[in-house]
Amino acid sequence: MSKTANVRPKRAVRRPDANDGRAAAPIDLGVLPNLVGYMLRRAQLAVFQDFWRVYEAYDIRPAQYAVLIVIDRNPGLRQSQVSAALNIKRANLVALLDSLEQRGLAKRVPVATDRRSYALHLTEDGAALLKKLGELSAAHEQRVSATIGESGRKELLRLLHGVVQAVGSSAPDDDES
Amino acid sequence: MSKTANVRPKRAVRRPDANDGRAAAPIDLGVLPNLVGYMLRRAQLAVFQDFWRVYEAYDIRPAQYAVLIVIDRNPGLRQSQVSAALNIKRANLVALLDSLEQRGLAKRVPVATDRRSYALHLTEDGAALLKKLGELSAAHEQRVSATIGESGRKELLRLLHGVVQAVGSSAPDDDES
């Protein structure tokens, strides 16, 4: 707009990724937007980012939220069961539980009948935090269904369950990248 | 069945995650199956695992496949543009392109007008491999829609695009975990 802007040399306003004007042109994604895997990944990243916007203040990631929910619903559950139920690699789950334990949200209780495993429980703080997180999730889900609507959200869930059923859930030790 | 199995001491046949019989009982996932974010993640992991089953022989991961497609459709594209278009963190993309280049599938061509950036192109081998990968993708997509059907697959894609539109696509430098 301003005169000074107009007299600025081209190179100064040129974006680093500019290449003979193509930078401004939309990038052709080819078949990708029609591939379920690609769109699942894009949607998952977008939703997880929105999740983070909502739960950032509580320093809770989606995987931590899921683990808190499962421990709350199944007190005394074993690590191996959480790993299988949530499809989280054993090593990642150990680190995740370490952090929840260090933060005083969950605790590992030795099992008298099985020296090798621990029963997982939420602490009072963990249960209180989970209650708070649950209250926040409505806002997140509403934002997710902002464009597709509540009926679209229900249909999406139905189709996602169908996909998981169709191709099966990946094993905890499978690489996802 | 066999007598020997019956006389085996309980502890021997006990599963490591067994806890007073609950191991066999289904685990209560609470609200998780009704959360779009959780189901998106489960479906994405399942589909990516199936993708890997199909493309394992070619040692091609979903992100590599997406990058090959975008470079093929937009020869001369800059790294920063691929990073933005596919929502891949810059550092991850550099490593991914290094591997594609080392495998002789893609090449970085210095840009005369901009010393800082390179134009990306597929090699002949890269183009040939991409053609082969494209032929395989139908089988993968068919398995994905095995339960939801082709109309379900189209509806799923429509809803996923709606979700990405609603909550936006996460920036390349956002953490997704």
A129: domain CATH number is 1.10.10.10
- Whole-prediction pTM: 0.80
Averaged pLDDT score across all residues of chain B: 83
Cross-strand pairs, B114? B111
Residue B130 maps to a domain = yes
Contact (CB<8Å) B164/A87: no
Q: Is the pLDDT of residue A83 over 50?
A: yes
Q: Number of structural domains, chain A?
A: 1
- Read off the pLDDT of residues B69-103 as tens digits, 9 standing for 90 and up: 999 999 999 999 999 999 899 999 999 999 999 99
What's B62's DSSP letter?
H
- Band of the pLDDT at B137, cuts 50, 70, 90? confident
Contact (CB<8Å) A113/B43: no
**Which residues in chain B have their CB less than 8 angstroms from residue A56's CB?**
none
Instruction: Give the chain A residue nearest B31 (alpha carbons).
Output: A69
Identify which has the larger pLDDT, A52 or B9: A52
Contact (CB<8Å) B174/A62: no
**Which residues in chain B have their CB less than 8 angstroms from residue A87's CB?**
42, 45
Cross-strand pairs, A111? A114
**Which residues in chain A have their CB less than 8 angstroms from residue B37's CB?**
44, 47-48, 51, 62, 140, 144
Q: Is the pLDDT of residue B3 over 70?
A: no
Residue A35 maps to a domain = no
For residue B43, what pLDDT is reported?
95
**Which residues in chain A have their CB less than 8 angstroms from residue B31's CB?**
69, 134, 137
Nearest to A159 among B48, B84, B155 (CB): B155
Residue A30 maps to a domain = no
Q: Does the CB of A104 have a partner CB in chain B at under 8 Å? A: no
Residue A93 maps to a domain = yes
For residue A117, what pLDDT is reported?
81
B36: three-class secondary structure by DSSP: helix
Residue A169 maps to a domain = no
Return the percentage of chain A with pLDDT > 90, whole number: 64
For residue B24, what pLDDT is reported?
57
Contact (CB<8Å) B48/A37: yes
CA–CA gap between residue B124 and residue A147 (Å, rounded): 42
Summarize the confidence of residues A21-41 as an average pLDDT: 85
Q: Is the dihedral of CA A44, A46, A47, A48 positive or negative?
A: positive
Summarize the confidence of residues A125-144 as an average pLDDT: 92
Summarize the confidence of residues A23-47 as an average pLDDT: 90
Residue A50 maps to a domain = no
Q: Is the pLDDT of residue B138 over 50?
A: yes
**Which residues in chain B have their CB less than 8 angstroms from residue A174's CB?**
45, 49, 52
Residues of the domain holding B111: 61-139
CA–CA gap between residue B38 and residue A139 (Å, rounded): 15
Is residue A22 within 8 A of residue B73, CB to CB? The reply is no
Averaged pLDDT score across all residues of chain A: 83
- Write down the residue that tokens 């301003």 correspond to: A2
Identify which has the larger pLDDT, A15 or B71: B71
Identify which has the larger pLDDT, A106 or A138: A106
